[in-house]
């Protein structure tokens, strides 16, 4: 997959078949669009192109109140786009100045003048450009003027998938990992560097790796205990019990922590980057009367996590 971050010294893409969007999560709906892009491109000897933006437009337009948390970091998003077969992605820097372009100016100055679009593939309800005035109907009006074709992603196809990034965010924030993973077409992941904690877990024989997670814009699922797969920097995979929360039994501060006990592992992980793959939510975070009571619950959690791994043959 070619990543295009600017149009200086731009090598022309043959017969570009283009779609537009932020594609946060690259969920099964997005994957269906990319599949259609590739099919249409093959028919005309062209290549598939996603024109996307960074940072997320809402972060630029509403810097103090956007409230958005991303399902994927930029690196995760690009890796997923490559994995699902996209051939080219234009990562355009979104600015307030750019946001003032009308939809017609955007199509004329970027999709036609710079990319030389041969075809646009767009959902029946997709909107883009200033005041979201860019629609399927507008593209159909512009197509004969600028000599490109338009293909609609049929309503029944999108409704059949019945998925959106908003629904995935909601599921994750509710701890509904099953629904989020189903819509994503793959398990949700969260990465972070191992930092030093207060080592209370070690005192009850359940040492944890405390993670400094990727950036403030990355969505963190609901507080609770999860079964996860843990991938080390070496590429080795283990399984673990992840706790997301404020650790009410041992910590009086209201600081959100992300810490994982890795099953059947011994070693020093400080400074390493770990990737957590979410398999199942086990329970809510709770406050216990003592460390002993906490340990007994963690022992029960471990049984459930190991059962989950065996039951689903992870």
Q: What is the mean pLDDT of the chain?
A: 90
Give the count of beta carbons closer than 10 Å to the beta carbon of residue 311: 10
Q: Name the pLDDT band for 124 (thresholds 50, 70, 90).
A: confident
- 58 versus 47: the higher-pLDDT residue is 47
Contacts 24+ apart (CB under 8 A), 172-175: 172/71, 172/219, 172/221, 172/222, 173/219, 173/221, 173/222, 174/222, 175/221, 175/222, 175/223, 175/224, 175/281, 175/284
Closest C-alpha among 140, 168, 133, 130 to residue 31: 168
Mean of pLDDT values over 276-280 = 97
> Over 60: is that where the pLDDT of 160 sits?
no
Q: How confident is the model at residue 307 (pLDDT cuts 50, 70, 90)?
A: very high
Residue 89, CA atoms < 13 Å, CB-side half-sphere: 24
Q: Which one, of 67, 63, 79, 68, lies nearest residue 26 by Cα?
A: 79
Summarised one tens digit per residue, pLDDT across range 220-269 is 999 999 999 999 999 999 999 999 998 666 665 667 899 999 999 988 89
Residue 90 backbone dihedrals phi, psi, to 5 degrees: -95, 115
Q: What is the pLDDT of residue 7?
A: 87
For residue 25, what pLDDT band results from cuts at 50, 70 and 90? very high
pLDDT bin (cut points 50, 70, 90) of residue 204 is: confident
Report pLDDT digits (tens) over 50-95: 999 998 888 888 887 777 889 999 999 999 999 999 999 999 999 9
pLDDT of residue 157: 62
- C-alpha to C-alpha distance for 123 and 112, rounded to whole angstroms: 19
pLDDT at 214: 63
User: Which pLDDT does position 252 carry in this prediction?
Assistant: 58
Phi then psi for 275, rounded to 5 degrees? -110, 125
Residue 183: is its pLDDT beyond 90?
Answer: yes
The owner of tokens 């197509």 is 143
- CB under 8 Å to 66, separation ≥6 — which residues? 56, 58, 59
> In angstroms, what CA-CA distances link 38 with 34, 54, 164?
6, 23, 21
pLDDT number for residue 1: 97
For residue range 87-123, list pLDDT tens digits in order.
999 999 999 999 999 999 999 999 999 999 999 998 7
Closest CA to 24 of 62, 81, 66: 81
């Amino acid at each position: 997959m070619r990543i295009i971050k600017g149009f200086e010294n731009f090598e022309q893409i043959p017969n570009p078949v283009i779609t537009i969007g932020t594609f946060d999560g690259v969920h099964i709906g997005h994957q269906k669009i990319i599949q259609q892009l590739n099919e249409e491109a093959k028919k005309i000897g062209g290549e598939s192109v996603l024109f996307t933006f960074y940072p997320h437009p809402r972060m630029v337009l509403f810097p103090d109140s956007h409230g958005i948390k991303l399902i994927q970091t930029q690196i995760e998003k690009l890796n997923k786009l490559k994995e699902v077969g996209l051939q080219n992605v234009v990562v355009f820097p979104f600015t307030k100045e750019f946001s003032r372009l009308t939809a017609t100016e955007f199509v004329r100055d970027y999709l036609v003048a710079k990319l030389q679009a041969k075809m646009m593939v767009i959902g029946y309800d997709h909107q883009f450009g200033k005041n979201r005035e860019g629609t399927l109907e507008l593209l159909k009006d512009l197509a004969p003027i600028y000599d490109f074709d338009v293909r609609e992603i049929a309503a029944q196809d999108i409704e059949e998938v019945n998925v959106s990034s908003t629904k995935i965010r909601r599921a994750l924030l509710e701890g509904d990992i099953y629904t989020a993973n189903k819509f994503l077409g793959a398990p949700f992941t969260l990465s972070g560097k191992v930092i030093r904690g207060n080592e209370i877990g070690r005192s009850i024989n359940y040492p944890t790796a405390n993670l400094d997670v990727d950036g403030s814009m990355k969505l963190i699922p609901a507080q609770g205990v999860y079964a996860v797969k843990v991938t080390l920097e070496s590429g080795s995979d283990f399984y673990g019990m992840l706790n997301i929360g404020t650790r009410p039994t041992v910590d009086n501060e209201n600081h959100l922590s992300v810490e994982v006990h890795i099953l059947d592992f011994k070693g020093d992980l400080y400074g390493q980057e770990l990737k957590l793959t979410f398999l199942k939510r086990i329970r809510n975070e709770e406050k216990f009367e003592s460390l002993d009571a906490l340990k007994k619950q963690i022992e029960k959690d471990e049984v459930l996590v190991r059962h989950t791994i065996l039951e689903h043959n992870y």
